[in-house]
Structure 1
Amino acid sequence: MDVTNFCYGKDHELEDLGGGIKRRMAIFADNAMVVEVHFEKGAVAALHSHPHEQISYVLSGVFEFEIGDQKKVVRAGDSTYKQPNMVHGATCLEEGVLLDFFTPHREDFVK
């Protein structure tokens, strides 16, 4: 994998995932990845799991996260952690943006 030390947002379009969710790939290497995810109010990231560790930092908006058997509301400045294979999802209560960090990187996100 070619590693880059700089990533410019202008070089990466927002990808429309449908359902009021858009994603912009940021920088990644073998062991880490950052992804910007935009949500419209009411958009739902369905419950799912994956073998990656994930941290979500709330840049803006309000979200209700379900992680395992817990549901909590988070706002700008808050963050969440999802262990590998932990079932999780989110509902956007007020339009917002998440910054998702994955380790290792999500090969399924890289085109």
Structure 2
Amino acid sequence: MLKSFPVVATDPGVTRQVLSECPELMVVAFRFAHAGAEGKLHNHLHIQSTYVESGRFRFSVAGEAVEVGPGDSFVIPSLAMHGCVCLAPGTLIDAFTPRRADFLDPSDL
């Protein structure tokens, strides 16, 4: 079933929108409006796969830095500290397993 989810501001210059979800999996678009916008360092229990749809980003994953661009993809293990800085505006498509219930309104669970 198709469902529309709201666009949510997360950090300055960054928005998040759930694209699809079920208890075992969630797909989310993170849009970065300008260079310098950040996805602050954090960690979570979920395994995350990130696909760079557009733009350029410098990621830190478990203390290792890497620069990524369109078409690049990688996996972030459970509990790994990670974050990114936008180098050129663009969109990241993240998949989480299991879903990030914290990204949903409780009525959607």
TM-score scaled by length of structure 2: 0.90
Count the aligned residue pairs.
Answer: 104
| Distance (Å, rounded) in 1 between the aligned partners of 2:46 and 2:85 | 21
Letter in 2 for 1:22: T
- 1:42 alignment partner, SS class: coil
Distance of 2:79 and 2:71 partners within structure 1:
25
Q: Match of 2:14, as an amino acid?
A: I
Tell me, in whole angstroms, the C-alpha distance in 2 between the residues paired with 1:31 and 1:75. 28
Task: Supply the AA of the counterpart residue of 2:20.
Answer: I
Q: Deviations over 1:5-37 (max 9, x none)?
A: x34xxx333212231100111110111000011
- CA distance, structure 1, for counterparts of residue 6 and residue 102 of structure 2: 17
Q: Which residue of 2 aligns with 1:21?
A: 14
Unaligned runs of 5+ in 1: none
Residue equivalent to 1:89: 83
Moved over 4 A (4+): none
**1:30-69, aligned counterparts within 5 Å?**
30-40=23-33, 41-69=35-63
Identity of aligned residues (%): 35
Q: Deviations over 1:58-80 (max 9, x none)?
A: 00000000001210000000012
Q: Given that residues 59 and 68 in structure 2 are in contact (C-alpha distance below 8 angstroms), is that contact kept between their aligned partners in structure 1?
A: yes
Aligned to 2:5: 12
**Kept after mapping to 1: 8 A contact 2:50/2:94:** yes
Matched, 1:80 2:58: no
Q: CA deviation at 1:38?
A: 0.2
**RMSD in angstroms over aligned alpha carbons?**
1.1
1:100 equivalent in structure 2: 94
